[in-house]
């Protein structure tokens, strides 16, 4: 897709345009007037979370009016209609598009429920062959699902071409849905939300209790039910409910009657996050901080939140497997179990009843709910987790859908014998190797897995993939094994986060006991492991996704190449626990800042300043593209838009590097600025401290960092070795470990998960 047009610069249209720009595609964003289009793009730029990977991506989006811009559609390969949800308006606009587009260009609608075939009535044959629905979910950058909805007239080659582009280049999970009201995810998801709203309106449970039950405990987002509805907008939820009620026949339509509670909130204008109040209300509390109040469903008044007290939910946190956790909670004898038995069976029965109408398989239903609503497991995975017999036992007298009856007639208690199958073998390269028993070596922190074709993988699998001694040992073992028996090494995993950094609990224990020799050995072990990756005799490709912080970032910095998921969040964040990067991260950022410098007469400060600030402020870059712009990823590193493809892409990159790989020569001449750079950085630190922007301890950390990045106690610029900088880094880290305030920061992080500014 060399060029794409998006028609409609509203919330969805502007964000779809932003994500196309993230993929490097030039976008033409049109609306009624050029000013409306510009304003829509400007609003998108201000949104949080940011729909753009980098601030520069917006330059790929051009805005204009329909009157002027439609004449430019002949140069667009894909035209996406995203205007208001009214059939007459869509048809009028697409009549003009039909006259302006180039034959063979794809045209799609982002409608969330209007029949796709009906929108294209009266259009030309070529238009209808290239016409389909492409339903993105909000926010388009972050929610994985795109439902593709062909009509009977859509050319299958168009479906295949667009599905491939949306998967590979936009990083989305594609589900081909049938052209029915609400398609798959909204139809099934909104049905479930309505049943939960009814349960709260009946007075048995508070909002907070329901959100506690229907969030991470069930493998669903932290925003659970009511917070999610507030974020989406109750007006939007209400619109979808009314649309489904109007378009569905019989009992299905009746199931989508607007609940009085939802209708009352919409009528009084409290429609969620955008108005400051919905099911929850944000108010300013003491000290200017925001407090969140909760709605009392009986009185419609807001009151302070009441923390739910469910011992079973606390106990459930210890059950890592979501299926086992849901089963345990469902059968519980407390109010959590009572709620789940009262609400879940009806939702699962409904999903089974409509699955054949809305989707081509139960696999597609589960994928749509995972990707569109952020669930860990879909409805049919829930059936299997609880057991068909147990679900039916909790709904006595309910009509058994044919899909369920088929399983009963076959003597089955599950829909699948295993887990939800992957859409592509490329999505499960690591999982398949592990399942096939190709584990070369393993300990508590990591495994060595043979990916096939001469590529070995180091897979982290500790809690949050924190890096401890066992992980470092496996990194070293991975390099040794790859050098002896493989062509290349990949460091990656399929967990939500690549690595949150070093295991600071072990560090704190040793520091509190004053075991400085042990701490010194820990730092040396980390440095040796990362440097071992850099100077391995085979290419090492790091494959981060999610969080790659602290030590996780340092692993990536020392790989030969990085194949990062687009949604990778990288940063050297050690200052948050009162330390500096000492797994060779400070050394590496210093070396990269002065890379290519052959003369010591240059001004070093501008080169060092940015890297110093990134470390000193614990900056986390909010996309792989952002990290690449900042230098944490190199220009030669690559980005996979679809994180499911990261391991396969990393393997392919590793093999391509292996063909003519030459181990890099050790850096023996890294340029550092000496006393003049230290003085400049120290002045900045002092001014920030004088201005009250940093604490005394921040000042101390910054000074130690400046000492390393200027080259230590050198009176003038000089060339130094990597080992020289590694020694400075290790000495600074050791000294900071002995500081009481550093130990307080580590304790606070371990206890709360948040940094302490002391």
Tokens 């949604």 — which residue? 567
307-339, pLDDT tens digit by residue? 999 999 999 999 999 999 999 999 999 999 999
**Residues 425 and 651: beta-carbon distance below 8 Å:** no
The DSSP bridge partners found for residue 31 are 65
The reported pLDDT for the residue numbered 179 is: 97
pLDDT for residue 378 is more than 90:
yes
Distances in whole angstroms, Cα of residue 74 to Cα of each of 98, 132, 555:
10, 19, 47
Handedness of CA 371, 17, 567, 167 (dihedral sign): positive
Q: Which phi-psi region, left, alpha or beta, contains residue 584 (left: φ > 0; alpha: ψ -120 to 50)?
A: left
What is the CATH topology of the domain spanning 427-666? 2-enoyl-CoA Hydratase; Chain A, domain 1 (3.90.226)
Q: What confidence score (pLDDT) does residue 74 get?
A: 96
pLDDT digits (tens, 9 = 90+) for 400-444: 999 999 999 999 999 999 999 999 999 999 999 999 999 999 999
Write the CB contacts of 281 (distance below 8 Å, at least 6 apart in sequence).
270, 292, 293, 294, 295, 302
**pLDDT at residue 655 in the model:** 98
Q: In the prediction, which pLDDT does 672 show?
A: 97
CA distance 660 to 510: 44
Tens digits of residue pLDDT in 347-362: 999 999 999 999 999 9
Nearest residue to 617 via CA among 571, 678, 679, 686: 571
Q: What is the pLDDT of residues 108-162, one digit of tens each?
A: 999 988 999 999 999 999 999 999 999 999 899 999 999 999 999 999 999 999 9
Does 23 have pLDDT greater than 80? yes
Percent with pLDDT over 90 in the chain: 96
At residue 290 the predicted structure's pLDDT band, cuts being 50, 70 and 90, is: confident
The CA–CA distances, whole Å, from 682 to 127, 713, 715 equal: 65, 13, 15
Tell whether the model's pLDDT for residue 8 goes beyond 80: yes
Find residue 135's DSSP bridge partners: 147
pLDDT-derived band at 248, boundaries 50, 70, 90: very high
- Tell me the HSE value of 159 on the side-chain side, using a 13 A CA sphere: 19
Question: Tell me, what DSSP letter sits at residue 502?
Answer: B
245: exposed, middle or buried (Cβ count in 10 Å: 0-12, 13-18, 19+): middle
Residues 413-425 have pLDDT tens digits of 999 999 999 999 9
**If we measure between CA atoms, which residue out of 256, 261, 255, 268 comes closest to residue 207?**
261
Mean confidence (pLDDT) of the chain = 96
pLDDT of residue 517: 96
CATH of domain 4-176: 3.40.50.720
pLDDT of residue 232: 87
Q: Which helix (H) or strand (E) holds 236?
A: helix 234-247
Is residue 63 over pLDDT 90? yes
Could you tell me the pTM of the whole model? 0.95
Residue 117 C-beta-side C-alpha neighbours within 13 Å:
11
* Alpha carbons 558 and 20: distance in angstroms, whole number: 31
Out of 572-576, 733-737, 752-756, which region has the weakest mean confidence (pLDDT)?
752-756
How do residues 493-537 score in pLDDT, each as one tens digit?
999 999 999 999 999 999 999 999 999 999 999 999 999 999 999
Q: Measured at the alpha carbon of residue 286, what is the angle toward residues 758 and 751, in degrees to the nearest 5?
A: 40
**How many residues does the structure list for the chain?**
758
Decide if pLDDT at 94 tops 90: yes
Whole-number Cα distances in Å, 208 to 21, 101, 274, 319: 39, 51, 20, 22
DSSP states of 588-617 as a string?
Answer: HHHHHHTTT---TTS--HHHHHHHHHHHHT
Q: Which of 283-297, 626-640, 667-681 has the lowest mean pLDDT?
A: 283-297
pLDDT at residue 739, as a whole number: 96
Cα-based distances in Å from 490 to 468, 498, 544, 612: 19, 13, 10, 29
The terminus-to-terminus CA distance of the chain in angstroms comes to 51
What is the number of alpha carbons within 13 Å of residue 199 lying toward its C-beta? Answer: 28
Residue range 694-741, pLDDT digits in tens: 999 999 999 999 999 999 989 999 999 999 999 999 999 999 999 999
- Domain boundaries along the sequence of the chain: 4-176, 185-361+373-409, 427-666
Cα Rg for the chain, rounded, in angstroms?
A: 28
DSSP-assigned beta bridge partners for residue 148: 134, 176
Distance CA 388, CA 414 (A): 6
Name beta bridge partners: 546: 568
- How confident is the model at residue 287, as a pLDDT? 66
- Report pLDDT digits (tens) over 715-727: 999 999 999 999 9
Confidence of residue 251 (pLDDT cuts 50, 70, 90): confident
* CA dihedral for 214, 223, 209, 355, sign (positive or negative): negative
pLDDT at 524: 97
* CATH, domain range 185-361+373-409: 1.10.1040.50
């Amino acid at each position: 897709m060399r060029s794409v047009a998006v028609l409609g610069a509203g919330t969805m249209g502007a964000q779809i345009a932003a994500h196309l720009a993230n993929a490097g595609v030039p976008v033409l964003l049109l609306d009624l007037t050029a000013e409306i289009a510009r304003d829509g793009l400007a609003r998108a730029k201000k949104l949080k979370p940011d729909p753009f990977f980098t601030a520069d991506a917006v330059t790929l989006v051009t805005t204009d009016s329909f009157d002027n811009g439609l004449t430019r559609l002949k140069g667009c390969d894909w035209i996406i209609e995203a205007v208001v949800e009214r059939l007459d308006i869509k048809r009028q606009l697409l009549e003009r598009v039909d006259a302006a587009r180039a034959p063979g260009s794809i045209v799609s609608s982002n409608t969330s429920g209007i029949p796709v075939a009906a929108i294209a009535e009266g259009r030309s044959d070529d238009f209808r062959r290239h016409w389909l629905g492409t339903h993105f979910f909000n926010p388009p950058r972050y929610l994985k699902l795109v439902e593709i909805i062909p009509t009977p007239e859509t050319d299958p080659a168009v479906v295949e071409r667009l599905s491939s582009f949306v998967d590979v280049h936009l990083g989305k999970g594609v589900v081909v849905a049938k052209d029915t009201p609400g398609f798959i995810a909204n139809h099934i998801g909104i049905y479930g939300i309505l049943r939960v709203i009814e349960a709260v309106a009946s007075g048995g449970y508070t909002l907070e209790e329901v959100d506690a039950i229907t969030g991470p405990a069930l493998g669903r987002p932290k925003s659970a039910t009511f917070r999610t509805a507030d974020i989406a907008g109750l007006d939007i939820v209400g619109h979808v409910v009314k649309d489904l009620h109007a378009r569905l026949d019989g009992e299905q339509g009746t199931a989508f009657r607007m609940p009085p509670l939802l209708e009352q909130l919409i009528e009084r204008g409290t429609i969620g996050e955008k108005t400051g109040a919905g099911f929850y209300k944000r108010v300013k509390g003491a000290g200017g901080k925001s407090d969140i109040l909760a709605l009392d469903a009986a009185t419609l008044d807001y009151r302070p939140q009441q923390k739910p007290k469910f011992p079973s939910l606390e106990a459930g946190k210890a059950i890592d497997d979501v299926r086992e956790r849901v089963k345990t909670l469902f059968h519980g004898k407390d109010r959590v179990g009572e709620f789940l038995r009262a609400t879940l069976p009806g939702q699962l029965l409904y999903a089974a009843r409509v699955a054949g109408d809305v989707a081509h398989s139960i696999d597609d239903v589960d994928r749509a709910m995972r990707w569109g609503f952020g669930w860990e497991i879909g409805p049919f995975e829930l059936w299997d987790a609880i057991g068909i017999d147990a679900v039916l036992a909790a709904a006595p007298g309910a009509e058994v859908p044919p899909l369920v009856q088929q399983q009963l007639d076959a003597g089955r208690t599950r829909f699948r014998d295993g887990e939800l199958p992957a859409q592509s073998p490329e999505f499960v390269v690591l999982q398949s190797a592990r399942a096939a028993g190709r584990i070369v070596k393993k300990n508590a922190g990591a495994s060595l897995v043979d990916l096939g074709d001469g590529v070995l993988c180091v897979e982290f699998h500790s809690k949050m993939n924190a890096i401890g001694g066992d992980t470092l040992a496996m990194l070293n073992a991975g390099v040794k094994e790859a050098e002896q028996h493989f062509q290349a090494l990949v460091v990656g995993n399929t967990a939500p986060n690549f690595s949150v950094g070093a295991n600071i609990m072990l560090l704190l224990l040793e520091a509190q006991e004053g075991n400085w020799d042990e701490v010194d050995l820990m730092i040396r072990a980390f440095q040796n492991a990362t440097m071992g990756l850099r100077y391995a005799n085979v290419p090492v490709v790091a494959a981060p996704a999610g969080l790659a912080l602290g030590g996780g970032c340092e692993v990536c910095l020392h790989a030969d190449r990085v194949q990062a998921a687009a949604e990778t969040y990288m940063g050297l964040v050690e200052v948050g626990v009162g330390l500096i990067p000492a797994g060779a991260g400070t050394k590496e950022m210093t070396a990269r800042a002065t890379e290519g410098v052959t003369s010591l007469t240059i001004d070093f400060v501008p080169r060092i300043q940015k890297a110093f600030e990134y470390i000193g402020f614990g900056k986390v870059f909010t996309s792989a593209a952002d990290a690449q712009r900042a230098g944490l990823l190199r220009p030669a590193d690559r980005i996979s838009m679809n994180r499911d493809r990261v391991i396969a892409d990393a393997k392919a990159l590793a093999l391509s590097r292996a063909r003519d790989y030459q181990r890099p020569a050790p850096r023996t001449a890294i340029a550092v600025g000496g006393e003049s750079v230290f003085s400049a950085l120290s002045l900045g630190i002092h001014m920030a401290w004088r201005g009250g922007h940093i604490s005394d301890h921040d000042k101390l950390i910054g000074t130690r960092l400046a000492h390393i990045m200027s080259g230590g106690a050198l009176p003038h610029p000089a060339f130094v070795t990597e080992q020289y900088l590694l020694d400075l880094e290790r000495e600074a880290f050791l000294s900071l470990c002995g500081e009481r305030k550093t130990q307080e920061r580590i304790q606070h992080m371990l206890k709360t998960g948040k940094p302490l500014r002391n």
